[in-house]
Each structure stands twice: as C-alpha cells, then as structure tokens.
Structure 1
C-alpha cells in the first residue's frame, strides 16, 4: 500500500495543493510551493509533467481562460515551453517532498512523462479531465499498478464507466470537476458526487476550480474524500492558472475549514452527545406539583404542572400520574417521583 493509499484509508479528507504550472518553469519556486503547501496543512503537492512538443501541435490555440490570463499572443506551445520543468527538476522536487514529509503527485500529459513518473515512484498518478477518456493512455498508466486519481470534468456517467472499464490493475479514485477556470457556481453540480458514489462505489473527491474556498468545504460536507485546489505563491504572477488559484493564507483557511467540517460530521448515530448532557437537565421538563398536596389525595389534572428542570418524571408519563394516590405530602413546584404515589 502506497503512502497515498494509507492516508486515504485513515479516513480524513486528503487535501491536494495543485501547484500545476504555477512555478512558472522555475525549480526554486516549485520548492517554495512545497514548503508553503506543507505549512498550510496540505497532504500532497501536485505538479504537471509534460513534454510540450508531445502535448500540443504547433498551431494549437490557447483556451479562452489562458488567453485572458496570458494575453492573446503566442500559441499554446509557446506558453507551455515557458512552464515546462525538466526530468531532473522533478527528481529534485520528489526528493524534497520526501525530505519535508509531503506526498508528491503529478499529472503526466504524454506517454514519456508517464513512464518517467513511474520510474521515480510517484505516490499516485493524477489524470486530468482532458485525458480521462484517453483509453490507450489509461491502459498504459494501469500497467504501473499505482493509485490513479481520475478527474472527470466534461464527462458524463457513460464516459466515466468506459474509462473505468479500461483500468483493471490499479485502484481508482474519482474526482468530480467542472472544467472551467474559474468554474461558474451554477455549473458546479456538487450533487453529482452522490450520483458517482452510488454508481461507481469508489472514493469520490472534488477538483475545485471555483473562486474562494466555500465550494470545497461544501463538497466535504456532502461526502468528498479528496479535495484538489489550485495553489500559488502570488496570484498576481504571470501565467495561465495563478488567477484561479489560492494564495497560502487562503489555502490554510481552506484546510482549517475542511478539518472543522470533518470533526463536525460524526458517526451518523443520533443521540444525546456528552456536551449536551448538562443542557438536557436544565432545558427538559418534568412533572411537578401544581399546588401543596397531602398524603392520601388523588392527583387530578389541575394538580400537575410541567416545568423545568428535567430531572424528574418526563412529561410523556403525564397520563400515568393522573388518578394516583399520594403516599406523602408534597409542596407546590416539587418534582413528582415514582415513590410519591401508588
């Protein structure tokens, strides 16, 4: 079992700081991201490993959000070349992650990158939404028999089923996702998490591209076990993904919010909790004498009041008390007890 799998099996939400290409092609900045993500409480940092020439054609255009964040000039290939790290860089990043005690994840975007990541024993493979239906690629990844985190943006249930059928050797974890940057709130569709849990019987997480932290926290509240969120040192830096990312203080708030929600979930058994016991005594009510009464009297309806505290006979036994004969004197407002009558 990998470290990733063992952390998931512990039951706590697994939080991924998606650095992606927010290092802007600089190793030092990538290592700074590792440090900051760890300080924020992330379980893992995730990068993107690719060979620009093998990922896109020379004339491939940027996505609309990339044009908005980087300008309209230049192709997607030009942009990616500036964001590419070398294999030696990733060897150093993984070594540094191991030294610092945080999981190292990366998304391969081509066959060569996948083979490289397997060779350095990545903790788990993250497959992007763009490749979730790339069946030949999924079959290659499956051969490594490492955990696969499969993002499902832009997909319907039948496409997810198709992808899962092609993976037979590796454990798969699914991420619900809306592939827009930032994702419109009205398109988030968090309840798809429930549908995916029911249909696929797998651990489901959420890859969040919305602004802010609220939607990720809501995802945890409805059952997401993995949260992935874009992470940057500075949102004002140039690059395609910084503006849709959280800065360290915001990411730390996200982690804190998730851990708080986790604690609040409980075990699902409805019961009086330990912290409620003292409140239960003063807030609940009991059957009490409505007037001074004497031994031998028969208790009538007008003789019984229902008042706090809740340390006596509960009100649900009201009808059992009416008609009983008192065995001893009792004062107004005194709580009835079973020993007071026959």
Structure 2
C-alpha cells in the first residue's frame, strides 16, 4: 500500500485526503497576515499550512539582484524585496507556537541547503521540494538526509527528470505531486490523468495534486481521480499584491474545497456492489419481478 506517516497522520491509499493550504509568500512579510491565513486554513479544516523558505543570497541570481521593482513598500531592488518577504527565526518560532495552538501542522518548501538547516530547528513533519527544485539533486539529497518524508512536485519537468529524481532519492517516505507550474494554469493544461500515470509508474508512493488553477472543480476532480493529498495556495484576497495571489484560493473557497473533498471521499465508497438499507423500500415497491 502506498502510504507515508507525516507527523501523527498517515497519508496515502485508504486514508483521508491530506489537504495543504500553501501560504508560501502570500503573507507579504507580515506575521499578522500569516496568522490570519493560518486561522482561515484551520477553520476550513485543512490538515497543514506550508510556507517557503529561502536564503536570498543563495537563491537570487547575480544578474537579478539589482533589478528594481515597485512593491507595497516602495521601489526597491529585487534582492531587498526578497529579504522583505522572508521570515526569520523569531517569526517562525511564533508561527510554530501559533500552529500548535490552532491544531494544524506546518512545514515549508526549502529552496537552498541553508534553508533546510534553518527549518530543522522546528521539527517539521515533512518537507516539500518545489517543482523548480526537482533537478537540484544536491538540495534534494540534503533534504532527504533529514530523514523526514519528502514531497516532490513535478511541474515544469519531463518524465525523465521525474524518474531521475525518484531514482536518486529512493522510494521510501517519498510523496509525488502532479502539478503544472503556470500561475494561474489554464484548465486545458492541467492534464489530471497524469495522476493515474504516476500511480501506475510509482505504485508504492502516495500521489497527490498541487493546483495553481482558478476555481475548485478541477481540484475536486483530482480527488475523484485518486489524489491522496491536495495542495492549493491560500490568500486573504486574490487581488492582494504578490505573484501567487491570483492563483490562490480565498478562505471561504478553501472551506468549500475541504468540505466537498470530504463529501467526495464518502461518495467514492469501496467499489463493492451492495443493496443499501435506504433502497429496500424502493426495491420492494418498484420491482415487478
């Protein structure tokens, strides 16, 4: 059976869909906004929230560092902006305590090796490797060395690149998410049948879906197709400033997403034909033979 233990939860075949609200950098550097997003995700019934952690001097290419851009804090270089939206130890310590109070797990996508060392201080239940990091084998192996479960995303990648990453990492404690890395993604490019392709190719690993589309119907379809974990970006307002906001789900939408996922799980059943108690009266009344 394809299953992995993450914190106090089993994720995979036969288990409740694990729903992740990705806060990412939608907090725009504000701890207050981050807490509101945690509140919303917890109230919506999500299992976890996810952040992104970068060490800007390791992640920002030299040729982009001095490019200026307009931000809510005025015009500044891209490097200064990256620092502006990056939480440090004090903020994550507060987030760690706040998530415990709210009864929701939290973890992060680490974009460099120092970020992994940083996050280890908080004993996360797992790590996520972003699609952009799928070919960064040094980073993947560093994350793998923590011994924690690892989710990898497969956006912007060829099948050969996915195979190479899985071969390098090994199958144990590995979860694989189908995704398309366009923000927001056109529905005709979602290719949800890749969920089945990945299930057939990696039968021992939980397969999930990380969605960047507008709307919820296609994420529900991913659950119906067998995704065992779901990740969607969450925002207070899709019109907020920031590159990921437009492809995110607002709090009310996240509550609908989770509620309907739970209904879909119940509706799917076990595939064994039976006559239900509620059908007995109709059977007796309507059957001629």
Corresponding residue number in structure 2 for 1:333: none
User: What do residues 224-269 of structure 1 show as CA deviations (whole Å, max 9, x unaligned)?
Assistant: 0111001011222211111111111111111111111111000011
Q: Does 1:135 align with 2:142?
A: no
- TM (normalized to structure 2)? 0.90
Answer with 1 or 2: which has the greater Rg: 1
Once the two structures are superposed, residues 48-67 of structure 1 have per-residue CA deviations (whole angstroms, 9 ceiling, x without a partner) of 11122211124239xxxxx9
Q: In the alignment, which of 38, 45, 51 is matched to residue 55 of structure 2?
A: 51
CA distance in 1, matches of 2:95, 2:149: 20
| One of 206, 217, 236 as aligned partner of 1:233 | 236
Q: How does 1:174-185 map to 2 (within 5 A)?
A: 174-185=176-187
Indicate the residue corresponding to 1:208 in structure 2: 211
Could you tell me whether the CA contact under 8 Å between 1:234 and 1:247 is conserved in 2? yes
Matching residue of 1:251: 254
Structure-2 separation of matches of 1:224 and 1:76: 36
- Is 1:147 aligned with 2:170? no
* Runs of 4 or more above 4 Å deviation: 7-10, 73-76
1:190-201 pair list within 5 angstroms: 190-201=192-203
Conserved? CA contact 1:129–1:154, under 8 Å: yes
Please say if residues 57 and 77 of structure 1, whose CA atoms lie closer than 8 Å, have aligned partners that are also in contact.
Answer: no
Cross-structure match for 1:340: none
Scaled by the length of structure 1, the TM-score of the pair is: 0.77
- The 1:191–1:10 alpha-carbon spacing in structure 2 relative to 1, beyond 3 Å, is closer
Instruction: Identify the residue that residue 95 of structure 1 maps to in structure 2.
Output: 97
Task: Quote the Cα distance in structure 2 between the aligned partners of 1:125 and 1:217.
Answer: 24
State whether structure 2 residue 282 is matched by structure 1 residue 279: yes
Local SS of the residue matching 1:276: helix
Partner of 1:80: 82
Offset of 1:79 from its aligned partner? 3.7
Q: Which structure is higher in RCO with an 8 Å CA cutoff and minimum separation 6?
A: 2
Shift of 1:27: 1.3
Matching residue within 116, 119, 140 for 2:118: 116
Correspondence for 2:19: 15
Residue in 2 aligned with 1:303? none
Q: Which residue of the partner structure matches residue 39 of structure 1?
A: 43
Local SS of the residue matching 2:169:
coil
Give, in angstroms, the shift of residue 5 of structure 1. Answer: 4.3
Does structure 2 conserve the Cα–Cα contact (< 8 Å) formed by 1:205 and 1:227? yes
Judge which range, 250-259 or 8-17, deviates more.
Answer: 8-17
Secondary structure of the residue aligned to 2:155 is coil
What are structure 2's unaligned runs of at least 5 residues?
none
Are 2:36 and 1:28 aligned?
A: no
Q: How many residues align?
A: 279
